[in-house]
Amino acid sequence: MFKWLLLFAGAGLLYLWIKGKKQAELSAGNASKPNKNKPERAPTAPEVMVQCQYCKVHLPRSESFTCDERFYCSTEHLQALDSQGWLGDAQWRISPNQDVRPENVQPDLVVIHHISLPPGAFRNQSSSQHIVDFFQNKLDPNRHPYFAEIAGQKVSSHFLITRSGELIQFVSTQNKAWHAGKSNFLGRERCNDFSIGIELEGDGDTPFEAAQYLVLAKLIKKLMSTYPLLQFAGHSDIAPDRKTDPGISFDWKKFQKETAISTEKLPFGLSSR
Ligand SMILES: [Zn+2]
Ligand SMILES: [Zn+2]
């Protein structure tokens, strides 16, 4: 009887020993398997922290949204006009051709322009960079006879929308860009003081691209949430003796429809001109 008990206990121990060994193997196998959800990071390379351009919060770079090498904590902050008058999802190409607005003046007018350097070049090639160079006083006068004519001018706008719908900002909306020149809006002179200038890449003859209207409408909505008193005019409306832009190819009806601004804010009407 005692022999049987010993044999039984021996078999039990053997079973427990084998079971324990199997479990140890299993857990060793799990430990060596990399976890797919959490990529292993070398202890020598800590997470890079960045700062949201809009709200200044610090966050890991891998969790940030980027535009033009700037970081944002959310798409909301990426797409907003910040407290310094810069739009997060535009490319920033700062122009020296700017100065401060008169004290306590907030913009209440948007002036629409067109520009193309050299005129019409965008039809055959990408030429947006020439406009950026021009607004940054970097236009090479040897590249084209027209560039030699204008290279000495010191001008800028707040925004440029290229044919492909890229949005570039040169001057903070809080500052004065030099886009309107001698001008008069319903009896008020020096429109640069109180306006925001938006250039559309184009000429007087070619219809503007659908992508340009879309980006323009999005931009206008953001500007209006910061500057609710904005009205809208073409450069030719405020400088009729000197300027013809944005020209007859600019579709004011389409502009009004896509921005949903009230026609009262368009004192020159919706007809092509
Ligand atoms: Zn933020
Ligand atoms: Zn103009």
Band (229; pLDDT cuts 50, 70, 90)? very high
My answer on whether 107 and 64 are in the same domain is no
Domain-embedded: residue 226: yes
Number of domains in the chain: 2
Ligand 2 centroid from CA 145, angstroms: 20
Ligand 2 centroid from CA 193, angstroms: 15
Domain of residue 144, residue span? 86-265
Ligand 2 centroid from CA 118, angstroms: 15
- pLDDT value at residue 29: 45
Taking all residues of the chain, what is their mean pLDDT, rounded to a whole number?
Answer: 89
What does the pLDDT average to over 151-160? Answer: 96
Ligand 1 centroid from CA 72, angstroms: 5
**Is 149 among the residues known to form the active site?**
no
My answer on whether 217 and 135 are in the same domain is yes
Domain-embedded: residue 172: yes
My answer on whether 73 and 198 are in the same domain is no
Q: Using CA atoms, how far apart are residues 205 and 114, in angstroms rounded to an integer?
A: 11
My answer on whether 98 and 165 are in the same domain is yes
Helix axes 252-259, 210-226, angle to 10 degrees: 50
Q: What are the tens digits of pLDDT across the range 26-65?
A: 444 444 444 555 556 556 678 899 999 999 999 999 999 9
From residue 208, alpha-carbon distances to 7, 59, 124, 196 in Å are 95, 40, 15, 20
My answer on whether 131 and 231 are in the same domain is yes
My answer on whether 142 and 243 are in the same domain is yes
Q: Is the predicted pLDDT of residue 19 greater than 60, yes or no? A: no
DSSP for 121-164 reads GGGTS--HHHHHHHHTT---TTS-HHHHHHTT-----SEEE-TT
Q: Please, which residues have CB less than 5 A from ligand 2, an ion? A: 113, 235, 245
Ligand nearest to the CA of 242: 2
What does the pLDDT average to over 221-250? Answer: 97
Ligand 1 centroid from CA 73, angstroms: 4
- pLDDT value at residue 39: 58
In the chain, % of residues over pLDDT 90: 81
Ligand nearest to the CA of 179: 2
Q: Is the predicted pLDDT of residue 257 greater than 90, yes or no? A: yes
Ligand nearest to the CA of 195: 2
Phi and psi, residue 197, nearest 5°: -100, 130
The catalytic residue among 69, 166, 199, 264 is: 199
